[in-house]
Amino acid sequence: VSALGDALASGFNVFAGHTLVGAAPAAVEATVLGWLRDLVGFPQSASGILLSGGSAAGIVALHTARVVALGRAGHDTALTVYATSDAHSSIAKGLRLLGFADEQRRMVTVDLGRCMQPDALRALIDADLAAGRRPLAVVATAGTTSTGAVDPLPALRDIGDRYRLWLHVDGAYGAAAVLVPDARAAVAGLHLWPTHSLSTRTSGGSNRTRSGVCLYAMAGA
Ligand SMILES: Cc1ncc(COP(=O)(O)O)c(C=O)c1O
């Protein structure tokens, strides 16, 4: 299906950058985003965008987290983002593209199953707060590229609530498990965060026909 969609999109070369001049593709995008929103249990008010792949979706998500914290043009070298060593390399690259120095990224310890350790995350945040830093976001992975590990989303949500952090769930590899009744429990918690985003991707068997999605929802919305 994605290969066919790619052929049609390339063949018709539709402009989809704005509703006013691309109403049909915008309607398709809104419909697809609505399907995904309902599948993962995001609120009706959630927004999103279709992108070229999981890397782009992660960048948009982290940009959104920063805009919500600081406004459109804001940056602060005290902002700090937390992820594990098993997070996809596109997260570190995306942060660099957004102007984050490597020192603004923290590596959270993983357990034997290669999942983020909530206690280690809490300790890092406490140390950063004590040092005057500004914790911004936690990047959890629902299905790491190397082992398929799913970070403990409900436990991370509790930490996010307490410290008022943004959670980005990189579900590029694992979020599609919501489509499989027997596997859905493995990614429980994709929608649990008060302010959060989810990125995922589809692939038609080759990277040439992949696409990405970023969904985001705000607290209280
Ligand atoms: C967990 C994870 N995040 C992000 C990506 C990047 O996705 P893309 O190659 O579509 O940019 C991948 C790709 O394999 C991935 O496995």
Q: In angstroms, what is the span from residue 55 Cα to ligand 1's centroid?
A: 6
Question: For the segment 46-102, what is each residue's pLDDT rounded down to a tens digit?
Answer: 888 888 888 999 999 999 999 989 988 789 999 999 999 999 999 999 999 999 999
Q: What are phi and psi of 39, to 5 degrees?
A: -60, -40
Does residue 90 have its Cβ closer than 6 Å to ligand 1?
yes
Q: Is 118 in the pocket of ligand 1 (CB under 6 A)?
A: no
Contacts of 127 by beta carbon, 8 Å cutoff, 6+ apart = none
Distance between CA atoms of residues 110 and 121, nearest Å: 10
* pLDDT confidence bin for 150, thresholds 50/70/90: very high
Verify whether ligand 1 is closer than 6 Å to residue 55 (CB atom).
yes
Count of beta carbons in the 10 Å neighbourhood of residue 164: 11
CA–CA gap between residue 84 and residue 166 (Å, rounded): 16
Lowest mean pLDDT, pick from 2-6, 173-177, 183-187, 217-221? 217-221
CB of 168 sitting under 6 A from ligand 1 = no
Whether 204 shows a pLDDT value over 50: the answer reads no
Q: Does the predicted model carry a pTM greater than 0.95?
A: no
Measured CA angle at 61 (ends 58, 66), to 5 deg: 130
Rounded-to-integer distance, Cα 94 and Cα 107, Å:
15
Q: What is the rounded end-to-end Cα distance, in angstroms, of the chain?
A: 33
Q: For residue 141, which atom of ligand 1 is closest to its CA?
A: 1
pLDDT at 193: 60
Determine the atom of ligand 1 nearest the C-alpha atom of 55: 11
Q: State in Å: Cα 196 to ligand 1 middle.
A: 19
Residue 165 has pLDDT above 90, yes or no: yes
